[in-house]
Structure 1
Amino acid sequence: MVTIKHSFTATVVDDRGVLVAEELAHACGAEVEWVVELVEIGLLQAESDASSPAQWRFASSALQCALEARRLQRDFGVGVDAAALIIDLQREIRRLKAVVHSEGIHLR
Structure 2
Amino acid sequence: MSGRRPFRELTSDFTPERRGRIEEIKRELLAEMPLHELRRARALTQRDLARMLEVNQPAVSKLEQRADVYVSSLRSYIEAVGGKLKIVAEFPEGEVAITNFSDVGEDEGDQG
Normalised to the residue count of structure 1, the TM-score between the two structures is: 0.32
- Greater helix percent: which structure? 1
Q: Which has the larger radius of gyration?
A: 2
